[in-house]
């Protein structure tokens, strides 16, 4: 059975706190298990979850600031220690290739894992995933080269059993109808849209360190689940803009304007002791599902939107 769920390894920005580890997020999306931005301590945080290094199929790094990448050496070495049998794709800003090379070989180890390095060198670069899904990288606004990621499932259709039965269509003929788009039954051609309703593909977006820019909205557009940094509260909006970060209010407004269904705020500055302040600020601008990320928490991708029969 397929699963679409986010596991949070850490939620702190810049430095860990006693309650929050450095960043780290694992997305289970059917057959893909993607580790985003493994900060320091990510390998140990995994031990407190149901995810193992062997599960990982892909690693995505938004940029090479330490709180988003210092966990790479441990994760990469763990892949070899556990003799992960499949290639693990790694995506990161091409301009940071030297940092990645250093982190990959930060210490001596016996490398057995196969890393398929696929750097991101263009805004809007598309990466093909399993099952026909697509991962798109978009350039964000931060002092160093930074990309956000958007995972998109292709649109499909949902067959309606009662309509199939009315035409006497069943068994392998259903698969043929889905594949070809029409089927001749009893002297009549039945088209797929007569026995199905559209099934919009689901979307996931991951937006880390950035000032507000067009790419933030492009990534967030119609996301079923948006994971987005909200380093600061609105009282520090000027500082946030200066250092290339978002406030909880900005992230919430992006979610509302982009039609996001479930919003996950994370990457909190250590200056704030009470996470409820982020929720209160976000609620002024967003009325949908809101999650204030906590270390080792899980967040499900919302159930698929169901289109009604026409």
Please indicate if the annotation marks 67 as binding a ligand. yes
Helix (H) or strand (E) holding 205: strand 203-207
209 neighbors 93 (Cβ within 8 angstroms)? no
The annotation status of 133 as a binding-site residue, yes or no, is: no
Residue 65, marked binder: yes
Query: Is position 295 annotated in a ligand binding site?
Result: no
Q: Which of 31, 37, 67, 224 is catalytic?
A: 67
Residue 182 annotated as part of some ligand binding site: no
- Pair 42, 27: CB distance under 8 Å: no
3-state secondary structure of 27: strand
**Rounded to whole angstroms, how far apart are CA atoms 20 and 223?**
26
Phi (first) and psi of residue 16, to 5 degrees: -65, 160
82 included as an active-site residue: no
Class of residue 1 by CB neighbours under 10 A (exposed 0-12, middle 13-18, buried 19+): exposed
Pairing of strands 125-128, 115-117: unpaired
Q: Which residues are catalytic?
A: 67
Show binding-site residues: 63, 65, 67-68, 142, 209, 267
Show binding-site residues for Zn(2+): 63, 65, 67-68, 142, 209, 267
């Amino acid at each position: 059975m397929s699963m679409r769920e986010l596991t949070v390894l850490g939620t702190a920005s810049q430095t860990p706190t006693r309650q929050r580890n450095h960043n780290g997020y694992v997305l289970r999306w059917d057959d893909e298990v993607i580790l985003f931005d493994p900060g320091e301590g990510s390998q140990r945080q995994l031990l407190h979850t149901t995810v193992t290094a062997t599960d990982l199929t892909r690693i995505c790094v938004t940029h090479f600031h330490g709180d988003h990448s210092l966990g790479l050496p441990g994760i990469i070495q763990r892949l070899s220690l556990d003799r992960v049998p499949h290639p693990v794709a790694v995506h990161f800003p091409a301009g940071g290739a030297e940092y990645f090379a250093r982190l990959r070989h930060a210490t001596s180890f016996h490398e057995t894992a196969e890393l398929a390095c696929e750097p991101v060198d263009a805004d809007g670069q598309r990466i093909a995933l399993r099952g026909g899904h697509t991962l798109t990288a978009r350039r964000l606004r931060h002092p160093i080269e930074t990309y956000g990621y958007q995972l998109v499932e292709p649109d499909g259709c949902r067959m309606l059993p009662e309509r199939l039965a009315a035409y006497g269509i069943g068994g392998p003929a259903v698969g043929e109808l889905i594949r070809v788009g029409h089927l001749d039954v009893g002297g009549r051609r039945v088209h797929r849209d007569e026995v199905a309703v559209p099934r919009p593909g689901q979307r996931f977006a991951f937006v880390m360190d950035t000032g507000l820019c067009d790419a933030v909205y492009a990534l967030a557009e119609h996301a079923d689940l948006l994971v987005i940094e909200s380093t600061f509260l609105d009282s520090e909006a000027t500082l946030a803009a200066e250092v290339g970060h978002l406030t909880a209010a900005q992230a919430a407004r992006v979610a509302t304007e982009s039609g996001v269904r479930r919003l996950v705020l994370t990457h909190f500055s250590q200056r704030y002791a009470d996470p409820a302040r982020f929720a209160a600020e976000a609620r002024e601008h967003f009325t949908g599902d809101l999650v204030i990320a906590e270390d080792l928490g899980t967040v499900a991708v919302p159930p698929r939107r169901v289109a009604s029969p026409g």
